[in-house]
Amino acid sequence: MADGLKLNNIRDNGGARRGPKILGRGIGSGLGKTSGRGGKGQTARSGCSLNGFEGGQTPLHRRLPKRGFVNIHRRKLYELDFFKINRIVKNGLLVKDAVIDKDFLIRIGYMSAHVSGISLIANGQASSPVKVAVTRSSAKAKEMLVSAGGTLIVE
């Protein structure tokens, strides 16, 4: 280790750290009286930001067209497919004659509690007869589940 470089000799480069701006301390400081905020009015007050203000010109957020639509009644559904059902059965998480429903999926950590329902989709192959309680189901998924000997409950 070099003689000049020790923990007690480490310093910032000159000008790396700036001191705080001292406001309202007399005419000689250059930031006295109004503290660099000019005269009275809206911008001299605390809490004023004028975000998006473009000097009287119509601001950009009002010049651009509105796009899209947000459905406030949209329900977030968990997509349950046969790959997930087969994994649940294979891992031994499903007790005999138990129902795969929202509470069960939350308990085993497959879905979060804030999701409003379950949608059964026809992805994968139905390999075992299981009882499934869902909010909605596609026609093909229902057909696949019933053909495998399972039961579908639509809540």
Q: What is the pLDDT of residues 60-94, one digit of tens each?
A: 999 999 999 999 999 999 999 999 999 999 999 99
**Cα-atom radius of gyration of the chain, to the nearest Å?**
33
Length of the chain: 155
Give the domains, in start order, of the chain with CATH numbers.
22-68 (no CATH), 77-154 (3.100.10.10)
Q: Which amino acid, 54?
A: E
H/E stretch holding 62: helix 60-63
Which residues on neighbouring strands pair with residue 120, listed in sequence order? 80, 137
Which of the 8 DSSP states describes residue 74? P
Give the pLDDT mean for 42-49: 88
C-alpha 68/C-alpha 71 separation (Å) is 10
Bridge partners for 154 per DSSP: 134
Q: Convert the pLDDT of each residue in 91-112 to its tens digit.
A: 999 988 899 999 999 999 999 9
